[in-house]
Amino acid sequence: MQGELVAEVQGRVGRVRLNRPRQLHALNTAMCEGMLQALDTWRKDDDVEAVVIDHLPAPDGDPKLSRGFCAGGDIRMLADSGATDGVAARAFFFTEYRLNHRLFTYAKPTVAFMDGVTMGGGVGISQPCRFRVATQNTKLAMPETAIGLFPDVGGGWYLSRLPGRVGQYLALTGHRLDGAECLALGLATHFLPIEHLDEAKQAIAPDPQHIAATLDHFSASAPDAAILSQREAIDRLFASDRLEDVFAALEADESDFARQTLEALRTRSPQAMKISLKLLLESVSVGTFEDEMAMEYAVATRVVQRQDFAEGVRAVIVDKDNAPRWSAATPDAVSDHLIDQIFAPLPASDAWSPE
């Protein structure tokens, strides 16, 4: 019986395969530890020239279980831990962020096949990869503000470096990008039809020195990226790093896009949205990815034990009434002092480290 993570060598490639289909391959601590162990082993193995990350097919091809590359992290565990001493939640973040950093700094080529739902933790293990393959099934998002969290796993780094104010829009709304949009924004390096994925993987295994050429060969022209048609509106409406200003701009705009976006934001945690905006503001000037992860770890360990996270998980995942009662109902009810406290560096004894 295969476990929740399968790490094996195929040809001259180390292959990491996520195998938790009923949870859309959401990561838990043991899976992160297994990936780290495999990466560290292959880093020293001259016979392994590249690493491929994907997911195993669902049992019996069940379409309901075939929708995910990686839907994030183990949110229920984080909520349960956050409601008590937070020890298990901190251990998960510590390990997951080490995995994100290891992939970001990995010397050998890495390839992520983002075929399906790619959210939260799935973004964290795909975006550090040198090659990021999208398909017509890709649905990439950082939807954390809906449950009182923020776009972590390096989300501050990646989103803050997107063109214009697209990163801020994605961070606040949790908007889902399709494969074509990922390619247009640089979140994917290639767009492959799903019928060519297995061929591409089989071609990479014996010849990992030519991954780029292999992926180019199997690539297809992507459809038009719908988000590009809203770039002007996004850049204008999300121009400010103050959440109150974003709301005011949306309220003053009479377009359908502004109205729909405002409706979405009014369901999100104002605290989480303010944290997200500050994260992107800080991240754009962070010098190294290590510094990014240390900052995000400090924020995550505090946010996971705050009321909004417990309430968001209750409303969206447990009771599924989608009616969260946030600690602050409006942006102006979240003080700058609170946000500064959440972003304060941790004591050295509690801080995150890459090794």
Distance CA 326, CA 320 (A): 15
Alpha-helical regions (H) of the chain: 29-43, 75-82, 87-104, 121-126, 155-160, 166-173, 179-185, 197-204, 211-218, 231-237, 243-252, 256-265, 270-283, 289-303, 307-313, 336-343
Instruction: Specify whether 74 is catalytic.
Output: no
Instruction: From the candidates 49, 74, 96, 152, give the one annotated as an active-site residue.
Output: 152
Q: Which helix (H) or strand (E) holds 5?
A: strand 5-10
Structural tokens at position 175: 């908007």
User: 54 catalytic, yes or no?
Assistant: no
Distance in Å from the first CA to the final CA of the chain: 32
Nearest to 122 by CA among 90, 149, 99, 147: 99
Q: Of the residues 49, 54, 115, 144, which is catalytic?
A: 144
List the catalytic residue out of 34, 116, 121, 179. Answer: 121
Question: Is 144 a catalytic site residue?
Answer: yes
Cβ atoms of 158 and 139 within 8 Å: the answer is no
Give the separation between CA 115 and CA 134, rounded to whole angstroms: 6
Provide φ and ψ at 226, rounded to 5°: -60, -35
Q: Residue 209 phi/psi, 5° resolution?
A: -75, -10
Q: Given 73, 124, 156, 174, which residue is catalytic?
A: 73
CB 34 within 8 A of CB 18: no
Active-site annotation, residues: 73, 121, 144, 152
